[in-house]
Amino acid sequence: MSLIVIIVIAVVVVLMVCAVTARVVMRRRELQERFGPEYDRTVEAQDSRRAGEHELREREERHDALNIKPLSAPVRDRYAQDWARVQERFVDRPDDAVHDADRLVTTLMSERGYPTEDYEQQLKDLSVEHGNTLEHYRAAHEVNERSSHHQATTEELRGAMVHYRALFDELLHNGDRPGSSAA
């Protein structure tokens, strides 16, 4: 009789370990899908996968506490018109257009409910819903910074406009990507 009890206990322990492992794997997959390339970037920046995943869960909690709201159709139209004006300025004043694009994206973030005081925190907050587009924002921001010191080429500025547009479109359409993007 004691052999049967030992076998039952062993089976229960094995099943519990399998259940915990399955839960961890499912949660990891959910984080990878939600954060896209930002998952790998965050995990690599931490001491361990567990620490990276903990950071991503903290980002989700912070994001859930924000009051992120969709835009009404008239507000979306106004932003779309503002973007068109920024793009038109690019031909004659590419540096100014990139700076304007940065300001417009930041204003749009704020209108949606994202805090905009700190660039690094912006990245973390945006990563929860816009992880696949975040690298565009980083690239555009870097060119915008270099442009402030007159260290960006016209081609880099054009690329920055395309990068800003990728995040702009997602924010404008409440996270649903339309199908456009060139500057």
Would you say residue 179 has pLDDT above 70?
no
Q: So what's the pLDDT on residue 159?
A: 96
Helices (H), 46-153: 49-65, 73-90, 94-112, 119-130, 134-148
pLDDT in tens, 119-175: 999 999 999 999 889 999 999 999 999 999 999 999 999 999 999 999 999 999 875
In contact, 147 and 95? CB cutoff 8 Å: yes
CA distances from 160 to 14, 94, 143, 156 (A): 53, 10, 6, 6
pLDDT tens digits for 27-80? 888 888 888 889 989 999 998 888 999 999 999 999 999 999 999 999 999 999
Distance CA 55, CA 143 (A): 27
Rounded Cα distance, 30 and 36, in Å: 10
Is the separation of the CB atoms in 175 and 129 below 8 Å? yes
| CB-facing half-sphere around the CA of 111: CA atoms within 13 A | 18
**What local confidence, expressed as pLDDT, does residue 176 receive?**
52
The residue-averaged pLDDT of 76-96 equals: 95
Evaluate if residue 18 carries a pLDDT over 90.
no
Dist CA 108 CA 141 (whole Å): 15
Task: Give the Cα-Cα-Cα angle 134, 47, 61 (nearest 5 degrees).
Answer: 50
Provide the percentage of residues in the chain whose pLDDT is more than 90. Answer: 64
